[in-house]
Amino acid sequence: MIVTDTHTHLYSEAFDDDRETVIENAISNGVERFFIPAIDSTYTQRMMDLKRTYPENMFLMMGLHPTHVKENYKEELAHVEEMITTHDFCAVGEIGIDLYWDKTFLRQQQDAFRYQIKLAKKHKLPIIIHCREAFDEIFEILEEEKGENLYGIFHCFTGTLEQAQKAISYNFKLGIGGVVTFKNGKIDTFLEKIDLSHIILETDAPYLAPKPYRGKRNESAYLLHVLEKVALIYKKEEAEIAEITTNNSKLVFGV
């Protein structure tokens, strides 16, 4: 059984003391494919080092995270474009809009989101969307940019059934992570109404650890708890869920 973690920040400082152990533990538990989202230019070298160490397991994205869109965002976007032009990446991400922490740079976040969508289209890559308290703002831009060449994943989906259906209508799959195991997560109440062809699994490690590790550092190995919950929701064997969601990830990323 091969399980795919479609969103994990394994280069994070949170893993500096035991990164190799964390990765080997995940692999030994069947989590063998790791998709690594970017944050900003300060993490690029860490990502490259990760890929160099685990070339068969790590798949890198490139992008500017919305919470890192600041005064220098155009310089950061130039870095994103240069990297995508000169290196091999599987997606543009994670990108989007985040209005939970700070609304100061909303215009710049919108600008950066549009710019990176166009970059993804140019290079025929999927986008990985970070959306926090910004579904309306995200959907407005997706409506402008929609088409066969726009596709990807709504990372860490925590919206409503209606929002899920709308995201799917724009050619996006839903990234399901630790929140599905939370008592107040809510998505477990309607997820079975979404066809499995639209679902992929993720951890967002080191964030959003599933039960029974909620509140602690998340790890890619903990994806098995997400897998277990999704299997219960869909009333299917875990191996079948793993196969379907891994194949879904292959359709998105092409690897």
* CB within 8 Å of 155: residues ≥ 6 apart: 7, 37, 93, 94, 96, 128, 129, 130, 131, 175, 202, 204
> What does the pLDDT look like over 37-48, one tens digit per residue?
999 999 999 999
pTM of the model: 0.97
Walk me through the domains of the chain, giving residue ranges and CATH numbers: 3-253 (3.20.20.140)
Confidence of residue 191 (pLDDT cuts 50, 70, 90): very high
CA distance 195 to 119: 30
pLDDT higher than threshold 90 for residue 109: yes
CA gap 225, 155 in Å, rounded? 18
- Residue 153: closest CA among 132, 136, 176: 176
Look at residue 185 and tell me whether its pLDDT is greater than 90.
Answer: no
